[in-house]
Amino acid sequence: MIKDQLKIDSKTEEFLKFILKNYDNFEEFIKKLKNHLIKEELLYDNILETNNDYDNYVQSLSEVIDKFFYSPYKLEINKNLLIEINKLINNEYSFREKNIIHRHFLHEVSDFKVLDREVSELFDKFSKNDFTVLENYCFLTYNLFKIYPFFNGLALRLIGNLYLMKNDYLPLILSTRFKSEYYYIFQYDFNRFKDSFLELMLKNIDFLSENLGMNQ
């Protein structure tokens, strides 16, 4: 666990040094990162360019990233922010109002009647944890996807990435090549999930490096 955290810290530092050395304008890198994040998130949720709503999703994601990810203001990662992000992306103003069976996860998600209470309790614990940033990110991700308060997981991944970037980490931009592995580890208990998730984050940094030119 600690070894993987140190590896992530080291790889992140190496990646950022590369960015500072090879991009003449940091805004150029930010734009490329943003476009890559949007592309992979939509591909991950099987929202393709042939979909009627594709352009609307691109615009909505772009607005969310501009508004929150690069905001100079301190943002509190909480239930209200999660709802606001989901509203901007999916035009939904509250948690889902019926039960669902997620076709990829191997666990049952929470009953719609308890969503507000469970999400409130989760963010209360999240704000009081004495975990490291990476441990707290694992905690937030694991429990949000166990609850699954919306009809898709896009806002859940975005608020986790927002937390990472506000703490000087790279976002977890999941490639579809990791999709099965990602879904599979949510059946574990939290400690085992945490170890597997950090390993996935290491793979993600390598993937991001490849796609943003570090290994070219």
Percent of the chain with pLDDT over 70: 96
Q: What is the pLDDT of residue 216?
A: 46
**With contact defined as beta carbons under 8 Å apart, do 88 and 64 qualify?**
yes
d(CA 14, CA 16): 6
pLDDT digits (tens, 9 = 90+) for 98-109: 999 988 888 899
- Split at pLDDT 50, 70, 90, the class of 210 is confident
Average pLDDT over residues 152-174: 92
d(CA 188, CA 183): 10
d(CA 133, CA 61): 24
CATH topology of domain 2-211: Fic-like fold (1.10.3290)
Q: Give the lowest-confidence range in 23-37, 53-67, 157-171, 193-207.
A: 23-37
**With contact defined as beta carbons under 8 Å apart, do 135 and 112 qualify?**
no
Percent of the chain with pLDDT over 90: 56
Q: Which of 169, 171, 205, 199 is nearest to 185 (CA)?
A: 199
- The larger pLDDT score, comparing residue 184 to residue 26, is at 184
- Split at pLDDT 50, 70, 90, the class of 12 is confident
24, pLDDT greater than 80: no
**With contact defined as beta carbons under 8 Å apart, do 214 and 15 qualify?**
yes
Name the amino acid, one letter, at 175. S
d(CA 148, CA 166): 23
Name the amino acid, one letter, at 178. F
Domain locations in the chain as residue ranges: 2-211
Q: Give the lowest-confidence range in 71-80, 123-132, 139-148.
A: 71-80
Name the amino acid, one letter, at 103. R
Q: What is the pLDDT of residue 191?
A: 94
Instruction: Report the chain's mean pLDDT, rounded to a whole number.
Output: 89
CA separation, residue 63 to residues 60, 69, 95 (Å) = 5, 10, 21
Average pLDDT over residues 128-155: 95
Number of residues that this document lists for the chain: 216
d(CA 103, CA 74): 36
